[in-house]
């Protein structure tokens, strides 16, 4: 993990709780609005649609918000990776229907 992403017991607990909340509500990826594969393991590297916790304010630029649940967003692993620590791209708008 990078210096801005410390692996602490508290953070692991927060990730598990946040994932459970997102899965229960069946929340889509906040970046692309597509469905997330909540059944995939966190280390299923071949599955770009697996859940990954994203930070609205990146940890590299706002380390003070790293463990703040208000800063958490559900995302695909691939969307989170592509975004990096850049601001999110504006969404295309409201989808006409749910595609999954």
Q: What is the pTM of this model?
A: 0.80
DSSP 8-state symbol, 50: B
What integer pLDDT is reported at residue 93 of this predicted model? 67
Residue range 61-71, pLDDT digits in tens:
899 999 999 99
Q: Are 73 and 28 in contact (CB under 8 A)?
A: no
> Which residues of the chain carry a pLDDT beneath 70?
1-4, 91-93, 95, 99-100
Residue range 17-33, pLDDT digits in tens:
999 999 999 999 999 99
What integer pLDDT is reported at residue 86 of this predicted model? 87
């Amino acid at each position: 993990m990078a210096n801005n992403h410390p692996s602490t017991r508290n953070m692991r607990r927060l990730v598990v709780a946040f994932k459970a909340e997102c899965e229960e509500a069946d929340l889509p990826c906040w970046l692309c609005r597509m469905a997330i594969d909540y059944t995939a393991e966190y280390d299923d590297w071949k599955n770009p649609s697996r859940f990954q916790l994203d930070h609205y304010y990146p940890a590299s630029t706002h380390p003070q918000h790293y463990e703040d649940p208000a800063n958490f967003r559900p995302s695909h692993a691939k969307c989170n990776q592509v975004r990096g620590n850049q601001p999110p791209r504006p969404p295309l708008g409201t989808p006409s229907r749910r595609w999954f």
